[in-house]
Structure 1
Amino acid sequence: MHRLSRALLRALPRAPLLRQPPGPGRLLPAALRPGSRGGLSTRPRREPPAAPQRPAAQGPGGEEEQFVFPEYVAEPGPAPAREPPAAPGRPERRPREKRQHRVTGRPDPSVPPSGVSCSGCGAELHCRDPAVPGYLPSEKYRSLMGGQPGGSEGQGALGRVVCQRCWLLVHHQQALHMQVSREQYRNLVSAALRSPPRHGRRPLVLYMVDMLDLPDSVLQDLPQLVGAGSNILVVGNKVDLLPGDSPDYLKRFRKQLLRSCAHVGILPAAQGTGGQVARTGSQNLVDVHLISAKTGYGVEELISKLQRSWKCNGDVYLVGATNSGKSTLFNTLLQSDYCKSKASEVISRATISPWPGTTLNLLKFPIINPTSDRLFRRQERLKAEAEKTEEQLSDDEQKYLKCLKKQGYLIGRVGRTFQQQKSKAVIEFDPDELSFSMEEEPVFSSNKPKERVEFTYNELKDARWFFDTPGIVKENCVLNLLTEKEVKLVLPTHAIVPRTFVLKPGMVLFLGALGRIDYLQGAKSSWFSVVASNLLPVHVTTLEKADSIYQKHAGKTLLKVPMGGEERMKEFPPLIPQEITLEGIGTLEAVADIKLSSAGWVAITAHLEDKLQLRAYTPEGTTLIIRKPPLLPHIVDIKGNRIRGSASYRTKKPPPLVENLKANGTNKQIKRVSKI
């Protein structure tokens, strides 16, 4: 340590003092260079690259345009500096490509399974077969087990370990394909829901629905999956990603969700005479609630509803299709008043990934008993937090809210009333470890391992549990055809900014290479509003050029998804057309949504009684749905001015709203939105 300090002190005086800003060819000392992380460097300072220019659209008659504007594209990171031209005679340097993480380790079929579940996906940990969920390399597995597979000490070491698949998903965004069929997922979920009731009460099914994928995210065979007589509370997730097109748009979402559930046979309880509740179907739809598991919107109200149903239900099972946000809600509830206060320290968080089917087995945490005293303390906390303004929050809370406002339109705050009392840390002082001579280097002992927190038998003997089940894989979904990189581009993670275009008959709109809509016939121009991931490009061209554009640019930069060039498109299924006839109901309201599987949808707005003849394309084996009424009928109003000489309008992003905060002069709509 002392030698390093002396070396640095000898090196610093050699650097020339700068009396004026250096030119492009002069060197700057590493200690004074802006953005330097320390250390000495001889690399010359480079000027920042010029800002990219917006691609200009072609003329009003050319209609061939690519619409990827900075208004709705995520802000890119700092651009890498350009390398200086190579000296004569030297080969040019190639840009470094990001290498894929290399999966190492060997399986050992002779080692028996551990009997311990992965804390990320719930699969049983083992080292026998990499294609089976829960796999760990045998070298890592044996080291954790202490060389004695099957021992109790080894099982304790595996308590919070995640499998290789979860590790790659979280740290390297790399997905390993597992040999788990759709029937295995369904059998696992069905067996859990049909297990004998505990505590003398039937379980409550918390059914998660992705509002972006409505009605496909409501499974057709849901009644057969959950069984007859089940109590179901439907939760519509990801409402934070959709912009509000009218003051009562959340009420409309709720009605659409009720309509989709009724279509598959999930009906609400009918209020009979004398206060008796009579079921109108084989399943009892208890309630419908809208939330955002990511931003926390509506989660506190959901917890209150679940706690009020404590006496009527037993265990709670979180069920839904893949990518509906179940694991995100599981992690949010794990840090809330719904679980036992010690559960967040005992139970690890579930693995979250856009790759379908992340959860492979049951994950669970114990539910806290909502006694009268706890409910009173919780209500007092909620009332106190509702009286706060955003300026009264701590700096960390304000930074967190600022980050969430960039990601969603509706934001909530999920707090905790019942905190686990932590014992004060005892500082151990050992004078012998701190005493050393001038010639000796100080040696600091590594941090002592933390004591593992566990539940006692009495804490869990009568507990009720909250289970996160594996996601049911949707049939005829375009996500099943995509790679992990393509899934990240197609699935929205930030607030969707709608893109509106005005098209004449004879024009074509491409949504990447995943969907295409041809405007064949119509008396007047119509408006096409795209609701999809901000990273998925939209391309407009003429009907004569559409086929050649797809053949030339599918799999390449212009259409972006799928990616991989001609080799990728050889294995990708072709686009299959479907004829559509619509009749306009006015320029202020969309007549229908053309839903291009799970890639997004296009809302069509046309003049009154104008009959449109359209042809929509989706990849073979995927579903195309005409949704009436549309989910966002007034979305045509969420746009800016039309770009001169172009078919597109400037994008407009509505402001975000935060619930559970005191309304002030600039945020008067918070209370009204939270009551809907």
Structure 2
Amino acid sequence: MQEESCAGCGVRLQTEHPDKLGYVPQSALEREPVICQRCFRIRNYNEAASIAVDQDEFLRLLGGIAATNSLVVHIVDLFDFEGSLISGLQRFVGSNPVLLVVNKVDLLPKAMNLNRIRNWVQQQAKAEGLRTVDVVLCSAKKNIGFDHVIEALDRYRGDRDVYVVGATNVGKSTLINRLIRDYSDMEEELTTSRYPGTTLDAIHIPLDDGKSIIDTPGIVYSSRMTEIVPRGFLQSLLPDKPIKPHVYQLNDGQTLFIGSLARFDFVEGERQSFTFYVSNALNLHRTKLERAEVLYAEHRGGLLGGPSVEQLAEMPDWTRHSLRVRRGEQKDVFISGLGWIQVNSTAGALLDVYAPKGVKVLLRNSII
């Protein structure tokens, strides 16, 4: 096809990749004006599709926000907080206020204290150098807390545009769709204005007061397990209902496999309990540390659970992360895109975690 730009958002049109920016079906090229499928769905169905870009392109996209007068809504996934938080966001947004919307709160066990979770989020965001005007917990999918999101937008937006930013699989498109239905007059035409100095464009969704919600593409972080597992296995990794915590009493010298995706070794310490917060679809299997390597070699993709041996062959090899929890500390072992393991004792422990190379593994203050 000849090079054309979308009349809705200005992105270059293409007909080959439905999951990429600018996709338009071949049959739609005869329409006037020609708009990408993403703009078409917003204009006709009040629905935004999730589009992803790599990290370098996304950072170039963020570069123009500091020069605007905007409210920045950063959507993160509570289940993958450190993995979905945009590192260094503060330096890109300048003096613009940041509203942190923490999605997927419905995945937490129902007995959780949400005020404590909110305080934990504020502390973690501050430690990452992110200054927020407010933190809102919600579930866009289950319609929990969305009224608080709208209230926060009304409180902090003023006479500003709203930039919505987030990583892939955090529920950004679901939240955008709710904002479109609650906040926007879709009888107006989509604007063709774009970020200055870049060919990567966002969707400008007009508001009743002449301002816009700017839906930016989702950033891909390869440090998340969700980005490296085979697409067919992704739904097993992403929880769709409240997580059922699994508590294990372990002696040192014991290992626990999380499916065939990761391995948790209790190397040294007093007998103590660990609570695993992972998708209910994943199999957990305990064994002795001395048998762990042989067990994995013989039973990955089978007894240990998915992905399959063939799918595992397409993923990076495991790398070891040695972590020491000091006496008196209350810590979680966080594996990006997979979940976390709460260290329930404050007696201290030496732990080894094996995960595909590149996946973020770290110790953090306990969320619960």
TM-score, scaled relative to structure 1 = 0.48
- 1:310 Cα deviation after fit: 4.6
Q: Does 1:259 align with 2:123?
A: yes
**Equivalent residue number for residue 276 of structure 2:** 530
Q: Tell me if structure 1 keeps the 8 A contact 2:167–2:220.
A: yes
Query: Who is 2:194 aligned against?
Result: none
Gaps of 5+ in 1: 1-107, 146-152, 163-169, 268-284, 349-359, 370-462, 633-676
Residues in 1 aligned to 2:40 and 2:87: alpha-carbon distance in whole angstroms: 36
1:234 pairs with 2:81? no
User: Are 2:47 and 1:217 aligned?
Assistant: no
Partner residue in 1 for 2:351: 614
Q: Aligned partners of 2:36, 2:19: CA distance in 1, in Å? A: 23
Deviation at 1:252, TM superposition (A): 1.8
Equivalence for 1:205: 72
Q: CA deviation at 1:316?
A: 0.6
Which amino acid letter does the alignment assign opposite residue 362 of structure 1? A
Structure 1 distance, partners of 2:255, 2:38, is: 55
Which of these residues, 158, 182, 187, is aligned with residue 55 of structure 2? 182
Equivalent residue, structure 1, for 2:184:
339
Aligned-partner SS, 2:350: strand
Aligned position for 2:21? 133
1:572 is the counterpart of 2:315: yes
Query: Are residue 112 (structure 1) and residue 3 (structure 2) matched?
Result: yes
Superposition deviation, residue 244 in structure 1: 4.3
Is 1:581 equivalent to 2:324 in the alignment?
Answer: yes
Contact 1:365–1:465 at 8 Å: present in 2 too?
A: yes
Report the Cα distance in structure 1 between the residues aligned to 2:35 and 2:181, rounded to whole angstroms: 24
The 3 A distance-change label for structure 1 pair 558 and 220 is same
- In structure 1, the residue matched to 2:367 is 631
Which residues of 2 match residues 296-307 of structure 1 at below 5 A? 296-307=143-154
Residue 330 of structure 1 and its aligned partner are, at CA, apart by 0.6
Q: Does 1:468 align with 2:215?
A: yes
Q: Kindly name which structure, 1 or 2, has the bigger radius of gyration based on alpha carbons.
A: 1
The alpha carbon displacement at 1:604 in A equals 1.7
- Cα distance, 1:217 vs. partner? 2.2
Instruction: Kindly indicate whether residue 280 of structure 2 is the aligned counterpart of residue 544 of structure 1.
Output: no
Equivalent residues of 1:116, 1:158 under 8 A apart: no
1:600 corresponding residue in structure 2:
339
Paired with 1:562 and 1:485, the residues of 2 have a C-alpha distance of 9
- 2: distance between equivalents of 1:265 and 1:159? 33
Q: TM-score, normalised by structure 2?
A: 0.84
Output the CA distance in 2 between the equivalents of 1:158 and 1:367. 21
Q: How has the CA–CA distance of structure 1 residues 474 and 347 changed in structure 2, closer, same or farther, with 3 Å as cutoff?
A: farther
Equivalent residue for 1:286? 133
2:38 & 2:221 partners in 1: Cα distance? Answer: 32
When you count strand as a share of all residues, which structure comes out higher? 2
Instruction: Confirm or deny: 8 A CA contact 1:218 1:260 kept in the other structure.
Output: no
- Tell whether the 8 Å contact from 1:189 to 1:470 is kept in structure 2 after alignment: no
Please tell me whether residue 243 in structure 1 is matched to residue 109 in structure 2: yes
Q: Secondary structure at the match of 2:359?
A: coil
Q: Which secondary structure state, in structure 2, belongs to the residue aligned with residue 216 of structure 1?
A: helix
User: What is the rounded CA distance, in whole Å, between the counterparts of 1:258 and 1:519 in structure 2?
Assistant: 30
Q: For residues 484 and 472 of structure 1, do their structure 2 counterparts lie closer, same or farther at Cα, with a shift above 3 Å needed?
A: same
The separation in 2 between residues aligned to 1:346 and 1:334, in whole angstroms, is 12
Aligned-partner Cα distance in 2 for 1:255–1:490:
27
Please tell me whether the aligned partners of residues 126 and 141 of structure 1 are also in contact (alpha carbons under 8 angstroms).
Answer: no
Identity over the aligned pairs, expressed in percent? 30
| Displacement after TM superposition at 1:615 (Å) | 1.6
Task: Find the residue that maps to 2:307 and give its secondary structure.
Answer: coil
State the one-letter code of the partner of 2:321: Q
| 1:516 pairs with 2:252 | no
Which residue pairs with 2:195 in the alignment?
none
Distance 1:265 1:299, change over 3 A: same
* 1:112 shift after superposition: 3.4
1:223–1:264 Cα contact (<8 Å) kept: no
2:161 corresponds in structure 1 to 315
CA–CA distance in structure 2, aligned partners of residues 523 and 265 of structure 1: 35
Q: Distance in 2 between matches of 1:501 and 1:157?
A: 50
Find the aligned partners of 2:221 and 2:34 in 1 and give their Cα distance: 35
Call closer, same or farther: CA 1:493–1:522 in 2, change over 3 Å: same
The number of aligned residues is 353
Q: What's the CA shift for 1:583?
A: 5.0
Superposed CA RMSD in Å reads: 3.2
How much does 1:361 deviate? 4.4
State the shift of 1:544 in Å: 2.5
Distance 1:256 1:330 in 2: 25
* C-alpha distance after superposition, 1:464-505 (max 9, x if no partner): 111111122224222232221122211122221112222222
Larger relative contact order (Cα-Cα within 8 Å, sequence gap ≥ 6): 2
What is the alpha-carbon distance in structure 2 between the residues aligned to residue 594 and residue 315 of structure 1?
A: 38
Shift, 1:541, TM fit: 1.3
Q: 2:193 matched to which residue of 1?
A: none
